[in-house]
Structure 1
């Protein structure tokens, strides 16, 4: 597996640094670099790539505008000196958002996310060995191990993923879509507002699901699941 990359940045020194960092990863191949967004965008129209490193604050066309204009979007890692663009990176579902000056440890973390996500997206359809969920949170891609999920809660436009050690991940995604990302044998929706891991159900009684540390309601629409679970016990 080798991910084809390009980098776009109006600062030649920044381009050289990204290229040098990329050369340290056998799983990455730098195909080309560009000092302006317009030339880079033209290249992207005709050449499919896997991963784009792009500066945000560039003259003429910003990195945000460039990514928005792409019909076929590669994975994107934004590089910028400005924190104020973080929300736009979130809207465009960037893999990561690295502030300049870029150090190799931070760069490595972003690249590892991209490699993991590429493997996740390109696994065979019948491969059910992956034990992770990928969502966008805090302006970047977040990987969540399935066995750490305690339950998932709907909060209007967002969902809150409760994970072990009282931690939570907030992400902008519909419940229906996140349910599609989860293995149906391991996760069940019990209410319009809740999804639970089946192996963490301790009991179901009086339309209440008791998990390890919380009790959640079962709505009438999902009573069949409650009855079937009870029969299996």
Structure 2
């Protein structure tokens, strides 16, 4: 499972250290490194990542203020030279707290905990080793095999999940369901669409064909989508 992450750290040496640590973990994919919280906040309001490495004491706005302004949070690992913010961090659902100077081993421990938690949330293995997730519908939680998902369409206030044999409606957000889907199997290609990479039949003129349905690739998602396609 690939874990996407960003760094928000205003100290150049600390940011460089974090970037080098991230590069040593094969399943981490760094999507950006920001030297101020405002730029990081703007990024997080338009893009989804699994994990945020966040400093606390920064100019303009602090790491705590950034977390208070996020409606949907990724996993957050605080990296700070001060232990004073630990309690406030945990009140804001921070996953781990790395006190500077921290070792690579301590960093790796935090990342492995995130990975384990993500895998647990992504689904369980059945007897045929086929991954599953539980989708909350209006009346029940439905067990869905990931292999059966063709694509997901965002509607007003809910999602429509297209399976090989039926459709399911859920009130989850796009960001929320992305966190439960394996990133090596699914990708968001438009503000209203998530697709299963293995179900793509063809790509032409920025449209994806899946089971006869033409799905647009949004301008904002083009670069990331075509990079993924080239690496398959």
* TM-score, length-scaled by structure 1: 0.53
CA distance in 2, matches of 1:12, 1:47: 24
Counterpart Cα distance in 1 of 2:56 and 2:110: 16
Aligned to 1:73: 73
Would you identify which runs of 4 or more consecutive aligned residues in structure 1 move more than 4 Å? none
Instruction: Compute the TM-score of the two structures, normalised by the length of structure 2.
Output: 0.53
Question: 1:19 corresponds to which residue?
Answer: 19
Equivalent residue pairs, number: 127
Aligned to 1:54: 54
Task: Show the 5 A alignment for 1:173-184.
Answer: none
- Encode CA deviations 1:90-145: one digit per residue, 9 max, x unaligned: 10111100000121011011101110111122212288xxxxxxxxxxxxxxxxxx
Report what 1:10 is aligned to. Answer: 10
Per chain length, whose mean CA-contact separation is higher, i.e. which structure has more relative contact order (CA < 8 Å, sep 6+)? 2
1:40 matched residue in structure 2? 40
Partner of 2:63: 63
Structural mapping, 1:104-143, within 5 Å: 104-123=104-123, 124-125=133-134
User: Which residue in 2 is equivalent to 1:231?
Assistant: none
Are residue 28 (structure 1) and residue 28 (structure 2) matched? yes
Tell me the residue number matched to 2:85: 85
Aligned twin of 2:95:
95
* Root-mean-square deviation over aligned CA pairs: 1.3
C-alpha separation in 2, matches of 1:97 and 1:76: 9
What is the CA-CA distance between 1:12 and the residue it aligns to?
0.9
Deviation at 1:80, TM superposition (A): 0.2
Tell me how far 1:29 sits from its aligned partner. 0.3
Deviation per CA, 1:3-24, whole angstroms, max 9, x where unpaired? 1100001101111111110111
